[in-house]
Structure 1
Amino acid sequence: MPDDGTAGGNGVRPEDVHTELATAFGLFVLSDASIHEAAEAAGVSPWELEDEIERAGLTETLGLEEDRDVSATIDDLLEEC
């Protein structure tokens, strides 16, 4: 661990981590949960989770479209019902 108190030297201190967002992020990446399911389970909004994924630069890696059409999102949500 670096001497600066950050985890892995990435400039993020453990006390600065938003626990709920980190949980949602982990649920989405490590399980078959959708963004909406992962966000709901962790107590954050799907938009917060999407923003965090984009901030981490993993939008393309995780198969999320940056300019997703709102109607496509609505269709996906209706299919889940």
Structure 2
Amino acid sequence: MDGDEPTDDGRERADVDPDLAMALGLYALGDVSLQEAATEAGVTYWELEDAIESAGLADAFDLDRDVSATIDDLLDEAGE
């Protein structure tokens, strides 16, 4: 099945990077941080964030968090 075929509900199927999808799934389950998910997918944190926003999932993934909270999380992870 290619990316041009419609889904069961008539929407066009988007091409999905399986590594990115797996990483987002792990993040959604709380198994990894957003930074770890990005590393798993082979992209930067910011590229992963852009992909989430492009897919319209920013609200579901709480990407509107305060930037300082994100920086604090990244610094905590770097110190581990």
Indicate the TM-score class for this superposition, using the shorter chain for normalisation.
0.5 to 0.7
- Pair 1:73-2:54 in alignment: no
Runs of 4+ in 1 over 6 A off after TM superposition: none
5+ long unaligned stretches in structure 2 = none
Q: Which runs of 5 or more structure 1 residues have no equivalent in the other structure?
A: none
2:7 is matched with 7
Contact 1:6 1:12 in 2 (8 A): yes
Q: CA deviation at 1:31?
A: 3.2
The answer on whether the counterparts of 1:24 and 1:49 sit within 8 Å (CA) in structure 2 is: no
1:52 and 2:56 aligned: no
| 1:20–1:42 CA contact under 8 A, matched in 2 | yes
SS at match of 1:7: coil
Residue aligning to 2:23: 24
Q: Could you tell me the TM-score, scaled by structure 1's length?
A: 0.66
TM-score (norm 2): 0.67
State the aligned residue count: 74
In 1, the alpha carbon distance for the partners of 2:6 and 2:44 equals: 27
The share of aligned pairs that are identical, in percent, is 51
Using the alignment, how far apart are the partners of 1:25 and 1:10 within structure 2? 21
